[in-house]
Structure formats: structure tokens, C-alpha cells
């Protein structure tokens, strides 16, 4: 995921009059009812070149968050944060110098000078100073790098990796089996233990100086160029009191081919050790005589951006809230992008999600107030690692056990109506039951995640809330269209991914068919209204890695 970050030039924490930004799009007259025309008009505004791709921390990017706050005010939604529509989010951008930073493996059969972008992609998350390094750090293969008590699994059992470099596999144990056992982790479906972010977090908890993930396209669900381009750009983090010194000094990936060579030089067979790592009882294996040396020379920029949050207070239980959310940011301007268009407008990703949430807000404000409060949140820094939603989850405006649930909308594209709706990571929470009930009123169904092995559940903002135990889901429209079925749905999806996803071509179009998104918004309205007028508290399903957190929070609820 490429990133564009500029110094914070616009970070006002209060609502400013739109007149201060006369060059930005105005606010069209819209209907209290849910309509495709309203969704289109809002998306057109948010995808306007004037916002320059909604890069967080930039003047024109932050103006998009201002536009959303003004739109909430226009339609009558109250500010949610003590009279403000904004929750300030402090962040740090770290860009490693690819020319001066070096990495190598030392082995008994000679050193391996690693080529950045070709053999390895890495950086340091530390931002206390611009230079960081590990030197001659002994290497240990720790399998999948997982500590999962509920699965009786501990790849670090009896192991001291302080000061060492751990090499880990991506995804979960058993995930690549021809017929994965659904009771072994989650079979084909990725758990959070399989996510690369978890691998880094666990390695840091274990005290590792460096952590290196072996890239393989199938279990990672994306090719090496995705890794290369993402880690070669700016990496974003929330401001942290310890300046990320609790994290491993170096975090990175190596190619599959590099790993095979590294293991061979230590007298080990990569595939044999990988097979062993997929079986219970696996013990970590030091790569004898091998060590890792790397330095990272980085530029560090501190910035401020903001979440936008509005609320309709409930009548009977105003302290209990149901959330709709979407991220407002996109990738800004990339001056080195090929072609003449350098603006990544993000009309679908995620102007469409924001437009749908605003449509829901206008629908609810013209209805009788609900028993519980209904909140409309717009996250920043999603494209930089779900950071805006993470900040909210760690600094919630309401106690977590007073947040009923979340429907998060992210990048569902324009399409005709469909027989179904899909959501990533199905099988996680009772929020699915709420959606199923709403869909049933429309004669539609919620289909299982068609590619659970790709870990889509962990790649959108709802995950920031899920990992705190808050039931959250990201529906994604339907793939079985009324006309043309799944073949037509796949054609639309493939065309978007190939020609517009995270490209300058993701622009608003007047000829879009938005009957599908409009019907989906009706679904979300029905689902949210049901929860906002009930005493139901959705939970994660038994076996979910987030169930224990929700149970603990709800047990403490007064």
C-alpha cells in the first residue's frame, strides 16, 4: 500500500466556516430519503481534485474532513466530542532512506548482501532518533511466531529471543493444507495470528531485536511487489510515549528465495522446517552460525490529523451508542506516479463509504429519535494502517461496553442491485445475524466470505474496534447481481481492481449505476435501527479471538 504523507499544515481542532475554503466543493441539496443521486453528489464532492486525494495532514486533505463536518452540521447532526466534530489524531511518519540503509546476513558460507526491494524490505518503527541498527543478531526460525493459548500453541515456548532476529512464516499453521481442518486454528480462514501485524507485535513482546517474515504469495494473498512498494514508502504510526522503543528495532520481509538460501547455508531444508512448523509440538530452530545486521536511516515527521464524529442522541439510553463508520482519507498526490494525473482521488475508496454514511445520517435525522444514540464516524489514516480508528479504539469517546456495535463501510463500488451481500471474515460476530435479518426484509442473503484465507477481516477499520472487543463488521455490497449473476459481479470487481484501485483512475463518474449501493444503505439503515431500538448487545461468536475481550468488558458494565 503506497503512502503519501506531507507535513501537517492544516490541523484545526474546531469547526471552521466553509467560507474559509471557497475553492472547495459546496454542499448540494439532498433528500431525507436514501437515494442514488444523493450518494453520487456527495461522492463527487469528496473526490474533487480540490481535495488533492484527501491526504491526511495536508491542507487540502484535511479540508475534506472539514467538508464532512460541515455536511454533518448542514443536515442537523450534533458534534460528538464535547461540542466538536473532531477528534485530533497525533501521528508520526517514518521514511527510511533506501540508498544509505543496508542489510545483510552473515553465514558460515559467506555473507549475503541483501538488495533492498529485491531480497528484503524493512524499516525501523523507532522514532526517538533517525538512526537505528541491529548488529550480528543471532537468527532463530520460530515457525509461525504464534502464541495462542486457546489453540494450545506456543512457538516461543522455552525460548529466549532477546536481542535475536526471529524469522517467521506468514498466515496460520495449517492454512495451506489441501483440506484445512476447521478446528485447527480456523482451517482455511485466517485468524489474527496469521496477520503480519501480529507477527511483529508478538516478536516485540518476546524481546526480539528484529523480526523478518518470509513472503510467499499464496499464504500472504499478495505478491512481493505489494510488500516492496509498501515498506519502501513512508510508514505511519500513532504517537507513542515510548517512541515505539518497545517494538523490535527492525521489522521486515524477505523473499521466499532468499529464505531458502538462508536456511540452506545453515544446513537446514526450508520446506522440511515449514512442514514441521505446521504440526503441534514444533520447537524453534536456531539457524546455526547465522546472524543479521541492518541499519535504518530515516526521516521522521510528526503530524496531526483528525477523525470526524457526529451523533444523534438517544431518547432512553443516550449513553449507549451504535456506530456507522467509514474512512475519509486516501493517498493524496504522488508526484512520481506515471502519467499526467498525480491525484489519487479515491472516489470509491473511500468517498463512496463516506457518502453512504452521510446518507444514513440524513435518513436518521429525519426519523423519530432512536432509543440509543446513533453515531457517524469518519476515520483518518486508514490507508496508512487503520490508525485513525485505532486511535479511537484506544481513546474512545464512550466506554467500550457502551458501544453496541459497528457497521463500517469501505470501498464498495458502484454496481446494480444484487441478490446478496458479502462481508469479510464471516463467522466472527453476531453482527452478521443483524445484517441477515435486515437483508431478509429485502429478499436477500448474507453470503460467506468467498476468500477467508486472505484475512480481509483484518484489513479495514472495523478491525481496530474488533481487536478491542467491540462487535464490528465491514459489509461490501453483493457479488451475485440480479442481472448477470456472479460472473457480472466478478467482472465489475476485477475491472475496478485492475484499473482504478489505489490508482489515479479511481474518480467519480456521472454514469455510475448506484442502485446497488443505495439498496445496501437501506440494509444498513434497517440493521442499525433495529439495534438502536433494542436492548440487544451483540457479541463475538464462541471461538472468535475477540470473544474474551467483549465478555470481560460486558461483565464490568454497570
Q: Which tens digits make up the pLDDT trace of 286-329?
A: 999 999 999 999 999 999 999 999 999 999 999 999 999 999 99
Ranges assigned E (strand) in 273-410: 285-312, 317-327, 372-379, 403-408
Q: Which tens digits make up the pLDDT trace of 244-263?
A: 999 999 999 999 999 999 99
Q: What pLDDT shows up at residue 454?
A: 84
Phi, psi of 231 (to 5 degrees): -80, -10
Q: Which tens digits make up the pLDDT trace of 166-198?
A: 999 999 999 888 888 888 888 888 889 999 999
Write the DSSP symbol of residue 45.
H
* High-pLDDT (> 90) share of the chain, %: 82
pLDDT at 10 over 90: no
Three-state secondary structure call for residue 537: coil
CA distance 297 to 372: 50
The DSSP line for 88-105 is EEEEEEEEE-TTT--EEE
Q: Nine-digit cell at 13?
A: 481542532
Q: Nine-digit cell at 65?
A: 474532513
Q: Which tens digits make up the pLDDT trace of 474-517?
A: 999 999 999 999 999 999 999 998 899 889 999 999 999 999 99
pLDDT tier at 336, thresholds 50, 70, 90: confident
Q: What pLDDT shows up at residue 327?
A: 98
Rg of the chain taking only CA atoms, in angstroms: 24
Contact 301, 353 (CB under 8 A): no
pLDDT at 15 over 70: no
pLDDT at 12 over 80: no
pLDDT tier at 544, thresholds 50, 70, 90: confident
Averaged pLDDT, 269-294 = 97
Please tell me the class of the 94-300 domain.
alpha beta
Q: What pLDDT shows up at residue 200?
A: 98
Contact 442, 406 (CB under 8 A): no
pLDDT tier at 90, thresholds 50, 70, 90: very high
The DSSP line for 438-475 is HHHTTT-EEEPPS-GGG-GGGSSTHHHHHTTT--EE-B
Q: What pLDDT shows up at residue 13?
A: 34
- Return the C-alpha torsion angle 394, 400, 405, 406, nearest 10: -20
Contact 272, 41 (CB under 8 A): no
Three-state secondary structure call for residue 253: strand
CA distance 392 to 379: 9
pLDDT at 272 over 60: yes
CA distance 22 to 160: 60
Q: What pLDDT shows up at residue 248?
A: 98
- Distance, C-alpha 536 to centroid of its chain: 27
Q: Nine-digit cell at 193?
A: 495470528
Q: What pLDDT shows up at residue 475?
A: 95
pLDDT tier at 7, thresholds 50, 70, 90: very low
pLDDT at 395 over 60: yes
pLDDT tier at 334, thresholds 50, 70, 90: confident
Instruction: Produce one character per residue of 385-399: b if its CB has 16 or more CB atoms within 10 Å, e if not.
Output: bbbbbbbbbeebbbe
pLDDT tier at 558, thresholds 50, 70, 90: low
Q: Which tens digits make up the pLDDT trace of 27-79?
A: 999 999 999 999 999 999 999 999 999 999 999 999 999 999 999 999 999 99
Average pLDDT value for the chain: 93
Contacts with 76 (C-beta within 8 Å, 6 or more apart), sequence order: 365
Cis peptide before 210 (omega within 30 of 0): no
Three-state secondary structure call for residue 536: coil
Q: Where are the domains of the chain?
A: 94-300
- 365: number of Cβ within 10 Å: 18
CA distance 57 to 227: 24
Contact 459, 452 (CB under 8 A): no
Q: Among 69-78, 355-364, 486-495, 525-534, which stretch is predicted with the lowest mean pLDDT?
A: 486-495
Amino acid at each position: 500500500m503506497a503512502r503519501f504523507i506531507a507535513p501537517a499544515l492544516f490541523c484545526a481542532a474546531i469547526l471552521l466556516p466553509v467560507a474559509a475554503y471557497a475553492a472547495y466543493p459546496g454542499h448540494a441539496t439532498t433528500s431525507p430519503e436514501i437515494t442514488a443521486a444523493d450518494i453520487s453528489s456527495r461522492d463527487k464532492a469528496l473526490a474533487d481534485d480540490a481535495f488533492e486525494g484527501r491526504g491526511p495532514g495536508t491542507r487540502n486533505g484535511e479540508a475534506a474532513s472539514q467538508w464532512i463536518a460541515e455536511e454533518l452540521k448542514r443536515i442537523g447532526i450534533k458534534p460528538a466530542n464535547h461540542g466538536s466534530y473532531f477528534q485530533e489524531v497525533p501521528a508520526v511518519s517514518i521514511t527510511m532512506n533506501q540508498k544509505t540503509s543496508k542489510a545483510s546476513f552473515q553465514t558460515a558460507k559467506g555473507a549475503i548482501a541483501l538488495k533492498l526491494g529485491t531480497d528484503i524490505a524493512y524499516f525501523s518503527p523507532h522514532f526517538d532518533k533517525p538512526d537505528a541498527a541491529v548488529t550480528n543478531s543471532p537468527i532463530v526460525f520460530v515457525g509461525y511466531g504464534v502464541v495462542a493459548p486457546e489453540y494450545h500453541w506456543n512457538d516461543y515456548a522455552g525460548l529466549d529471543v532477546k536481542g535475536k532476529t526471529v524469522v517467521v512464516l506468514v498466515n496460520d499453521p495449517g492454512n495451506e493444507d489441501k483440506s484445512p481442518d476447521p478446528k485447527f486454528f480456523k482451517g482455511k480462514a485466517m485468524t489474527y495470528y496469521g496477520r503480519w501485524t501480529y507477527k511483529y507485535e508478538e516478536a516485540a513482546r518476546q524481546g526480539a531485536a528484529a523480526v523478518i517474515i518470509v513472503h510467499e504469495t499464496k499464504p500472504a494473498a499478495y505478491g512481493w511487489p505489494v510488500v516492496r512498494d509498501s515498506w519502501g514508502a513512508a510508514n505511519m504510526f500513532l504517537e507513542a510515549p515510548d517512541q515505539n522503543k518497545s517494538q523490535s528495532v527492525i521489522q521486515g520481509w524477505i523473499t521466499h528465495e532468499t529464505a531458502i538460501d538462508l536456511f540452506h547455508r545453515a544446513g537446514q531444508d526450508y520446506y522440511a522446517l515449514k512442514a514441521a512448523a505446521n504440526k503441534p509440538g514444533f520447537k524453534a530452530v536456531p539457524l546455526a552460525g547465522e546472524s543479521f545486521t541492518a541499519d535504518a536511516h530515516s526521516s521522521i515527521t510528526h503530524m496531526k490529523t483528525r477523525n470526524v464524529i457526529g451523533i444523534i442522541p438517544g431518547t432512553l439510553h443516550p449513553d449507549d451508542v451504535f456506530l456507522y463508520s467509514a474512512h475519509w482519507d486516501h493517498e493524496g498526490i504522488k508526484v512520481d506516479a506515471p502519467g499526467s494525473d498525480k491525484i489519487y482521488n479515491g472516489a470509491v475508496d473511500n468517498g463512496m463509504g463516506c457518502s453512504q454514511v452521510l446518507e444514513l445520517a440524513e435518513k436518521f435525522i429525519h426519523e423519530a429519535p432512536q432509543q440509543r444514540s446513533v453515531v457517524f464516524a469518519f476515520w483518518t489514516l486508514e490507508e496508512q494502517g487503520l490508525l485513525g480508528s485505532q486511535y479511537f479504539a484506544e481513546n474512545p469517546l464512550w466506554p467500550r461496553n457502551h458501544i453496541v456495535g459497528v457497521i463500517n463501510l469501505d470501498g464498495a463500488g458502484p454496481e446494480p442491485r444484487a441478490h446478496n451481500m458479502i462481508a469479510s471474515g464471516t463467522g466472527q460476530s453476531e453482527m452478521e445475524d443483524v445484517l441477515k435479518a435486515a437483508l431478509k426484509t429485502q429478499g436477500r442473503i448474507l453470503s460467506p466470505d468467498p476468500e477467508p484465507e486472505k484475512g480481509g477481516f483484518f484489513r479495514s477499520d472495523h478491525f481496530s474496534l474488533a481487536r478491542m472487543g467491540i462487535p464490528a463488521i465491514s459489509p461490501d455490497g453483493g457479488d451475485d447481481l440480479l442481472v448477470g449473476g456472479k460472473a457480472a459481479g466478478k467482472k465489475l470487481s476485477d475491472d475496478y481492481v485492475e484499473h482504478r484501485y489505489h490508482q489515479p483512475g479511481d474518480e467519480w463518474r456521472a454514469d455510475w449505476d448506484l442502485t446497488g449501493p443505495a439498496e445496501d444503505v437501506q440494509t444498513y439503515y434497517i440493521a442499525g435501527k433495529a439495534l438502536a431500538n433494542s436492548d440487544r448487545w451483540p457479541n463475538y461468536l464462541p471461538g472468535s479471538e475477540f470473544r474474551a475481550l467483549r465478555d470481560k468488558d460486558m461483565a464490568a458494565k454497570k
